Amino acid sequence: MAVFYPKNSQTYFVLILRKTYKGVHSNQVGFPGGRVEEEDRDLAETALRETEEEVGIPQDKIEVIRELSKLYIPPSNFWVHPFVGILEETPNLIPQESEVEDILEVKLSDFLSEESFVTRNLSTSYMKNIDVPAFLLNDQIVWGATGMMLGELREMLQEIL
């Protein structure tokens, strides 16, 4: 869930830094989200529930305004179905202790600036020392699937702003 909200007369959205664990997405930056649970009525409800669990924003406060393109993530063998939501007020963000190392509040103007789009030499699960497109947000490198979702989100926002 890419959720946008007002804070100090600016617009922000939230990303999370995942905890370090034995897994392919350990210590990576991403959007709040996770697996479908049996009680979820649809994928939007999954995104809302996971956002509440991971960063503490109540589901009923987020208005889902659109879905982004679904994306396959080979290292974890998952399809991701991202959504965009808006919140009318500044949230009280609370990280889920078991999964979230840190919450990153990203200012929309910083995200849309040319300086946020970078190329970095990284090692992936498929290749070593490869130049990849990425975003530099709040001193964190965001790439891979989250970077692709951010790219689509940025393009969408630039069309309407």
CATH number at residue 97: 3.90.79.10
Question: Is the whole-model pTM more than 0.85?
Answer: yes
- pLDDT band for position 160 (50/70/90)? confident
Q: What is the pLDDT of residue 22?
A: 61
Distance CA 115, CA 37 (A): 38
Domain total in the chain: 1
Residue 156: which domain range? 2-160
Which residue is associated with the tokens 């309407």? 160
Q: Are 64 and 88 in contact (CB under 8 A)?
A: no
Pairing state between β 83-87 and 62-67: antiparallel
CA 19 to chain CA centroid, nearest Å: 15
User: 130-141, pLDDT tens digit by residue?
Assistant: 898 999 999 999
Summarised one tens digit per residue, pLDDT across range 85-95 is 999 999 999 99
Amino acid residing at 158: Q
